[in-house]
Amino acid sequence: DAKTTQPPSMDCAEGRAANLPCNHSTISGNEYVYWYRQIHSQGPQYIIHGLKNNETNEMASLIITEDRKSSTLILPHATLRDTAVYYCIVRENFNKFYFGSGTKLNVKP
């Protein structure tokens, strides 16, 4: 099973880039890496996903290493509203998500 390891918490100054790392050393070739975030008392919100190439959308960028064993989510200009728990996820199989414990990102003024 491909599972993920993330730091339990990180701090970031408002306006600066937030770089959230994720280790997924047992990922298999056809498993995508997904990032979701969860603000307190709400459901997880999709951010971005990728297979092997770097990806960018209006919310964030995803950098996946060449060996695919780790990735980094980049929030280019963090705001206070980005304070949340960020989950790095790989598919356990074709039908299930495995959510780890995530990283609590604290954006400070």
Partner 1 sequence: KAGVTQTPRYLIKTRGQQVTLSCSPISGHRSVSWYQQTPGQGLQFLFEYFSETQRNKGNFPGRFSGRQFSNSRSEMNVSTLELGDSALYLCASSPRPITTNEKLFFGSGTQLSVL
101 binds partner 1 (CB under 8 A): yes
Would you call 11 exposed, middle or buried from its count of C-beta atoms within 10 A (0-12, 13-18, 19+)?
Answer: exposed
58 binds partner 1 (CB under 8 A): no
Q: Give the dihedral sign, CA 87/92/98/100.
A: negative
7 binds partner 1 (CB under 8 A): no
> Which range, of 14-22, 26-34, 54-62, 75-83, touches partner 1 by CB under 8 A?
26-34
99 binds partner 1 (CB under 8 A): yes
94-98's contacts with Cβ under 8 Å and 24+ in sequence apart are 97/34, 98/1, 98/2, 98/3, 98/4
49 binds partner 1 (CB under 8 A): yes
29 binds partner 1 (CB under 8 A): no
52 binds partner 1 (CB under 8 A): no
Write out the residues near partner 1 by the rule CB under 8 A. Answer: 30-32, 34, 36, 41-46, 49, 51, 87, 91, 94-102
